[in-house]
Amino acid sequence: MKYLNRFLSLVLVLVLSISFAAPAFAQQSTAVQEITDISTLFTGLYDEINPSVVYIAVQIPTGEASQYHQMQDFPWEDFEELMPFFEPFRKKEQQPAPEEEQKQNYSYGSGTGFVWDDLGHIVTNNHVIDNATKITVTYSDGITRNATLVGADPDSDLAVIQVEDFRPEIKPLKIGDSSTIKVGELVAAIGNPFGNTGTMTTGIISALGRSFALERDISSQGGTYTIPDMIQTDAAINPGNSGGVLINIHGEVIGIVNSFASSTYSNAGIGYAIPSNLASRVVPQLISTGEYRHAWIGISGIALTQEINQLLELDKDQRGALVQSIQPNSPAEKAGIRGGTEKGDIEGRSIMTNGDIVTKINERDVKGMDDIIAYLASNTSIGDTITLQILRDGKEITQELTLAARPTSKERNQQANKPDSEETQTDIGSAWLGTFVRDITEKDISALDLPAGTTGALVDQVTKDSPADDAKMQENDIIQKVDSTEVKDVRDLKEILTSYTPGERITLTVLRNGKTEEIRLTLGTTKVR
């Protein structure tokens, strides 16, 4: 009887153990199945999408190579531990050019693109193919074709090339609606980072509505244009991914990979993609006309903050874009929009204080210039009439204006009757100041009331969040010395900066409003894409 009782007790324990273990085992099996399903989803997406993603190689005259193309000369000696892994790819992508090409001093770069339609049109970033004299496209199976430029738009950083002898079996990708995506959604990027063709990385949408400043694109009154509504992702983005695809779990292209934020050469978990809806507006016009002209108001402005509201004696929660300047012959000038004429100081930064405050555009609330640019890009065309709600001298007014075509960089410089400015940085990884400068002209001497014979490098624009910006440098500053070395022109300044390295502390002697000042700052590292 004693043994029977012991046996029954063991049976009871075993039954109870099985009863409690079954749900846990079932939960574990469900979790494994869910992970397997996600894995199967991404492998299926890769098989479907990758054949339509291409590797783009370009040849550019060295003197016209952009920062992005210079990025291809990666400093491998600084990353010796990676050499064994990357060596096969380096040998593949860095084969010597033919002797006749070497004599012409070309640079070489690469990036990514994807098939847009059945006619062999490939979409990529403008900065991938900018100034290229030769473009080749390599499919995922290794077959290479020559390609020609169809059209490019620097202001959206999009370009279209067309492949010779297009292969009809390569299918165009489906373009999704980027206005419907949400933060947290699963995404994948496919491209050619560091020449590693057909690389897929995964992540989520980290943020929406980011703006990406086009540092090379300067308005005649200072400031920059931006690409609005950029998608931020933590899917790994590295040099070579530019022009590749960001896809959702349905295999739709929701973004065109554009850049990443990093102080080094590698991914830091912050990548950006141009929204597919912007591409859907720009690309068809690039194919049909070779260019895309953006709708334009002609104002520069800043977002109201509590500090600015206090200075202007506004409600502390007032939102809007404070107009700083109006561009000549612009729709804003013709409509009587007012820019600032009086200066104020906010935490050491000079702003124009008495311009109009734009609070709405076509009944859409405006919190800053990014909202205006995003609305124009997504909802308007050249020739459209829009309504601005404006706060002026404490009163709300409405003003209609008709949108015009945004001037190109060349047109703006012609209107301002001034030469093109240059960015002070040179090669990727070099010391970075963060200014666009140009040589001083006789017109500048007259307009700025400078002494005859004034020399130096005239600051046209200060790049946001750069060392120069942090040091409160301003438009129309004239850089006359770096430490003790004299600067007579832009060439002097660029040559001097090449002798410095990122992280070094320097002193700039600057002529500002007729007075000589010393500005101390720490040089940064050239930004990369």
Residue 115 burial (10 A CB sphere; 0-12, 13-18, 19+): buried
Evaluated on CA atoms 119, 258, 279, 285, the torsion sign reads negative
Looking at residue 509, its amino acid is: T
Measuring CA to CA, how many Å separate 193 from each of 94, 170, 390?
15, 22, 46
124-128-131 Cα angle (round to 5): 120
Length of the chain: 529
CA dihedral (465, 466, 469, 470) in degrees, to 10, reads: 80
Q: Which of 264, 269, 226, 233 is nearest to 248 (CA)?
A: 233
Q: What distance in Å separates the CA atoms of residue 464 and residue 85, rounded to the nearest whole number?
A: 37
Closest by alpha carbon to 179, among 246, 229, 245?
229
Angle subtended by helix axes 276-289 and 369-379, to nearest 10 = 50
| Whole-number Cα distances in Å, 425 to 193, 346, 522 | 24, 28, 14
Whole-angstrom distance, CA of residue 385 vs CA of residue 63: 43
Q: Are 257 and 249 in contact (CB under 8 A)?
A: no
Q: What is the DSSP letter of 222?
A: S
Q: What residue type is 370 in one-letter code?
A: D
User: Which residue is associated with the tokens 């990369």?
Assistant: 528
479/501 Cα distance (integer angstroms): 19
Active site residue 250: no
Quote the radius of gyration of the chain (alpha carbons, Å).
28
Among positive and negative, which fits the CA dihedral 321, 323, 327, 332?
positive
- Out of 157, 217, 234, 460, pick the active-site residue: 157
Residue 157: active-site member:
yes
User: Terminal CA-to-CA distance of the chain, rounded, Å?
Assistant: 81
Token pair for 513? 């409003």
Q: Which of 297, 440, 324 is nearest to 382 (CA)?
A: 297
The one catalytic residue among 107, 127, 330, 356:
127
Residue 127 falls in the annotated catalytic set: yes
**Which tokens go with 481?**
């010395």
Residue 20 φ/ψ region, left for φ over 0, alpha for ψ in the -120 to 50 degree band, beta for the rest:
alpha
Q: Which residue in 485, 492, 484 sits closest to 437, CA to CA?
A: 492
Catalytic residues: 127, 157, 242
